[in-house]
Structure 1
Amino acid sequence: MFISQIVLILDSNVENSSYAKEFFKDSSIIKAITSDNLAGAYEMITEYEPDLIIAHDNFKEDISDICSKLREKTNFYRPVIMVLSGVQDIDKKINLLRVGADDFQDEAIDKKELSLRIFAHLRRHIDELTDHTTKLPYVSLSYRILKRNLKMRKDELYALMYLDIDNFEPYKEIYGHIAAEKLLQTFIAIIRTSVDEKDFLGRVGEDEFIIFTVSEKAEKIATFLSYYFDMVSPKFYTNEDINRGYLILTGDEKVGRRVPLASVSIGIASNSHTKDIGFEELVNNAVSIHKLAKTKVGSFWVSDRVKITAGEQEKVTEKKILVVEGDASLSYLLATTLEMQGYNVEALNYSEYLKETVNAFIPNLIIFDINEVTAEKDLEICKHIKKNHPHIKIIVSTTDCNKEKILDSGVDLYIPKPYELMVLFSWISRFLNYEVLQ
């Protein structure tokens, strides 16, 4: 079962603390841990980051000093601190609340009332860190829950899935916030149908989520999510956009951009290769694998079950640009500037040998200047390139302002001439250095 909340009971009398643990014996998502000494309690706070700390006033050290130190130890997050004391002095209560306690109760409090207060604190604590629209924990709580469960399940085989909706922001820009929220809610509903109470689902970004599950289920979940989202998502588009197969996003300077329809990218990292993998390493692995999934067209998932070779990684990250520009001086300027930015650049003055050059060079991006005389032929070449190399981004510049006709040929971005070079360079940076990370 997945532990989502932890209660730390700090009590010098070990036998006395057992009754508080009884409150959680029937809960499958709350775990109670105890410590009869302050040093051990501080270690547990660092390791488990408990949501609620119940501190009994039966230590040699003053309970106010203990509360103050507990707040110091938890300054990176804020747990609820409840103090139980046999001394009912109003000044002591005020001072405890001032130094960081959230609640102060008599040691002789009725056990039923104490139980209700504890669960009320836990409920409010979770509510404060939960997105009320999706009912999912925010990023800080999501990673805290993940971190503590990794420690508790270190001897098991598990997997972390990092997933998001590709092209969600362009969809929201065109269709609006309400439509985007409905798409997001549908995606979350699909995810919920694929997981159970033994799995954990958290939200770590606007359209980014994590799923923690057992290794044997991860790829099945990924396959289901990819298939089902692709089956449902067309209902969120107009017939015109569905028939066209992409969106047209209009930007500054009359730029027209071809944006693919929404899809899902999923990265899966597990401890199948390294049993003692840490929290940060697991998350970083999942994020890195997710980036590989985003280099593919459409819904796609990638798992670390089959190791990726160094050669394959280099193939994904290498940045090559092919410039097709009839103006020799502009072609030289573009090639030189892009090389100075660290790109590997090839240049052609005509499109006659473009197909052959693409097959040999395999660029990540093509800057293609099309003139009116050869426009029909050049757009057919764009279609051919996209059909055989769908991962290649194509930017077309021309005086022809038939934006939809150009984008229909598979072009990713249309920039009307004349254009500012900084506008072009900005789009190149977005395509090659930014959008793979979205």
Structure 2
Amino acid sequence: MSKGRILIVEDDPDIANLLKTYFTSLDYEVQTATRGQEALERTRQQLPHLILLDIVLPDIDGYEVCRRLRTHLRTRHIPILFLTQRDERSDRIAGLELGADDYITKPFDIEELRLRVQNALRRAERESLTSPVTGLPSGRLIEDQLRELLRRSDWGLLYIGINGLEAFREVYGFVAADEVLRWTAMLIGEVVDELGTSEDFIGHVGGDDFVVITRADRAEAIAQALRQRFAEGVGTHYAFPDRERGYLVLTDSEGNERRVPLMSLAIGIVRAGDSVFHDIRELTEIAAEARRREMLLPG
């Protein structure tokens, strides 16, 4: 099982290959980028749990990459460790002021780097900043966004759950179920990129629960696209016989069989004008109730 996704942004191929080989051997999932714009694009496509970021890059420098990541709602939580040959105090301060989590100068000790990466990931999980499975914001970051929401006047909240994930996990195991969660997170990101705005927020509450914060007039279109694309793609996670049948067959301890349909999304939508919300607990309760009502709809 992967310890997390690391994005290495480094234009020196020898250093990039060394780091990729090393962290892959430690069971991390590793991607590389040689340019700043490529790093931003890869981060948009699939959120890494941590970024190792060189400062000197062929197009935009690491400082600008860090600045853009820190000013975007969907990426501001990702731990960033600067890798650089610069050892000037002013350079370190500049990086830390932009929100970098650490600053490592070349040449570096690979074991020290491993520990710094490990500590940064643990710190993010301990502070409930990210989901260890999807890399999406979780815990306190979601709560902060919901509190900010109550001060706005034009918003839509999608509370998303995966029907049938527990039965799928029972048959296929937790590794396959985690892959479904990662795929769902990627799917949500793609749909929000297409139909939402640049300021939309995506979070993984935990388990099979996700949230999307967007504009009120975008919420329904995003929900419809998510339901459709999830239904079109979820079959790839099943074995052929289950996919062809359209359901799982589960047997209880007494030998009784029951049929569980293939997974689907249940999405509750709440908009700013639906009610007067006094706190985030009230908001999330109403969103959960909206999702429960959808789960009870025929089909």
Alignment TM class, shorter chain as reference: 0.5 to 0.7
Offset, 1:232: 0.7
Q: Which residue of 2 aligns with 1:281?
A: 282
CA distance in 2, matches of 1:26, 1:166: 33
CA distance in 1, matches of 2:173, 2:277: 45
CA distance in 1, matches of 2:68, 2:167: 48
Within 5 Å, give how 1:304-343 maps onto structure 2.
none
2:71 corresponds to which letter in structure 1?
A: S
Within 5 Å, give how 1:284-433 maps onto structure 2.
284-298=285-299
CA distance in 2, matches of 1:26, 1:211: 19
> Contact 1:155–1:275 at 8 Å: present in 2 too?
no
User: How many pairs does the alignment contain?
Assistant: 196
Q: Which residue of 1 aligns with 2:249?
A: 248
> Contact 2:133–2:178 at 8 Å: present in 1 too?
no
> Contact 2:247–2:259 at 8 Å: present in 1 too?
yes
Q: Which residue of 2 aligns with 1:198?
A: 199
Q: Which residue of 2 aligns with 1:261?
A: 262
Question: Any gaps of 5 or more consecutive residues in structure 2?
Answer: 1-65, 78-87, 104-119
2:171 corresponds to which letter in structure 1?
A: I
Q: Which residue of 1 aligns with 2:36?
A: none
The answer to which structure, 1 or 2, has the higher relative contact order (CA under 8 A, 6+ apart) is 2
Structure showing greater Rg = 1
Aligned to 1:156, the other structure's residue is in SS state coil
CA distance in 2, matches of 1:193, 1:160: 17
The alignment status of 1:170 with 2:167, answered yes or no, reads yes
Q: Which residue of 2 aligns with 1:143?
A: 143
CA distance in 2, matches of 1:176, 1:229: 20
The alignment status of 1:117 with 2:96, answered yes or no, reads yes
Q: Which residue of 2 aligns with 1:28?
A: 71
> Contact 1:270–1:282 at 8 Å: present in 2 too?
no
CA distance in 2, matches of 1:203, 1:24: 24
Offset, 1:283: 1.4
Within 5 Å, give how 1:173-184 maps onto structure 2.
173-184=170-181
Offset, 1:175: 1.5
Pick closer, same or farther for the CA change 1:27–1:133 going to 2, 3 Å.
closer
The alignment status of 1:134 with 2:119, answered yes or no, reads no
Pick closer, same or farther for the CA change 1:117–1:155 going to 2, 3 Å.
closer
> Contact 1:269–1:285 at 8 Å: present in 2 too?
yes
Pick closer, same or farther for the CA change 1:170–1:135 going to 2, 3 Å.
same
CA distance in 2, matches of 1:190, 1:232: 10
Offset, 1:145: 3.0
1:313-348 C-alpha deviation (Å, 9 max, x unpaired): xxxxxxxxxxxxxxxxxxxxxxxxxxxxxxxxxxxx
> Contact 2:158–2:212 at 8 Å: present in 1 too?
yes
Q: Which residue of 1 aligns with 2:56?
A: none
CA distance in 1, matches of 2:292, 2:91: 50
Offset, 1:176: 1.8
Q: Which residue of 1 aligns with 2:220?
A: 219
CA distance in 2, matches of 1:262, 1:168: 6
Q: Which residue of 2 aligns with 1:186?
A: 183
The alignment status of 1:229 with 2:225, answered yes or no, reads no
CA distance in 2, matches of 1:209, 1:24: 26
CA distance in 2, matches of 1:183, 1:24: 31
Pick closer, same or farther for the CA change 1:26–1:166 going to 2, 3 Å.
closer
Pick closer, same or farther for the CA change 1:276–1:236 going to 2, 3 Å.
closer
Give the root-mean-square deviation of aligned CA atoms.
Answer: 3.0
Pick closer, same or farther for the CA change 1:24–1:193 going to 2, 3 Å.
closer
Pick closer, same or farther for the CA change 1:254–1:134 going to 2, 3 Å.
same
> Contact 2:180–2:237 at 8 Å: present in 1 too?
yes
1:245 corresponds to which letter in structure 2?
A: G
CA distance in 2, matches of 1:157, 1:137: 22
TM-score (norm 1): 0.40
Offset, 1:122: 9.1
CA distance in 1, matches of 2:143, 2:257: 39
Offset, 1:181: 2.1
> Contact 2:72–2:199 at 8 Å: present in 1 too?
no
Offset, 1:208: 0.7
Percentage of matched positions with identical amino acids: 30
TM-score (norm 2): 0.58
CA distance in 2, matches of 1:25, 1:133: 24
CA distance in 2, matches of 1:226, 1:25: 31
Q: Which residue of 2 aligns with 1:156?
A: 153
